[in-house]
Structure 1
């Protein structure tokens, strides 16, 4: 279950929707089940995010949502078999999806390779993963999200 967690300055709902759709399409085109791609957004409260000791979240961030990210910190949980090329392309796709200014924005993308059998999700009333299924259960259940 690939997961992208974005913490940034306030973004409009339409900006978040466009970014989530774009990232889902990117991952689906590379083998992930789109139903298992999770993108979440969190707006950092004022004076909560610093780079080089300087706050990137100021009290001015309360002025209202914006259409692009002036700064963002992103954490991606992806299949452990994804290679450097995939990670580099996904990082670039995230920058484009968030509309960051390549010259003036602050963006970090952290990748946390994750084994599919370490991710559990609710499916048909029970928790499942891509790990070995108990005897009598469908062995293919839960494997769609695990494709590298």
Structure 2
């Protein structure tokens, strides 16, 4: 279940939708289930994100929604078996999906390997994960558990 968390300058709803669809299509083309791809967008307040000591969002900056980000900090949770080539291509796709093409743009993408059995999602009314299901735990008290 790949997840992409984008923190950036304000984007229009249509720009967020376009980026989310593009990333979902890319991840699906590379083996992910489209229904499990999650993309979230977070907008920071002015003077809350700094790179090299310089604010990426200036004080008093308009909350006006731009069609493209000027900077982005992205955290992706992906399967730990994904190789460096995959991560590089996904980082490039994220940059392109957010429209960060200018030389003055700032983009940081961090990958967090996440085991599938550590991710749970709602399916048919119960929480499930892609990992192996553990054996049922006994609720009976045995001699080792007596009145501690």
How much does 1:104 deviate?
A: 1.1
SS for the counterpart of 2:61 is helix
If you compute each CA radius of gyration, which structure gives the higher value, 1 or 2? 2
**How many residues end up aligned between the 2 structures?**
136
Structure 1 counterpart of 2:82: 82
RMSD value over aligned CA atoms?
1.4
Equivalent runs, 1:57-76 vs 2, <5 Å: 57-76=57-76
Instruction: Answer whether contact 1:23 1:97 (CA < 8 A) is retained.
Output: yes
Structure 2: stretches of 5+ with no match in the other structure: 137-148
Structure 2 counterpart of 1:5: 5
Structure 2 counterpart of 1:92: 92
Q: In structure 2, what is the Cα distance between the partners aligned to 1:116 and 1:19?
A: 24
Q: In structure 2, what is the Cα distance between the partners aligned to 1:99 and 1:71?
A: 9
Structure 2 length-normalised TM: 0.87
Instruction: Answer whether contact 1:10 1:65 (CA < 8 A) is retained.
Output: yes
Structure 1 counterpart of 2:141: none
How much does 1:101 deviate?
A: 2.4
Q: In structure 2, what is the Cα distance between the partners aligned to 1:111 and 1:63?
A: 28
**After TM superposition, where is structure 1 displaced by more than 4 Å over at least 4 residues in a row?**
none
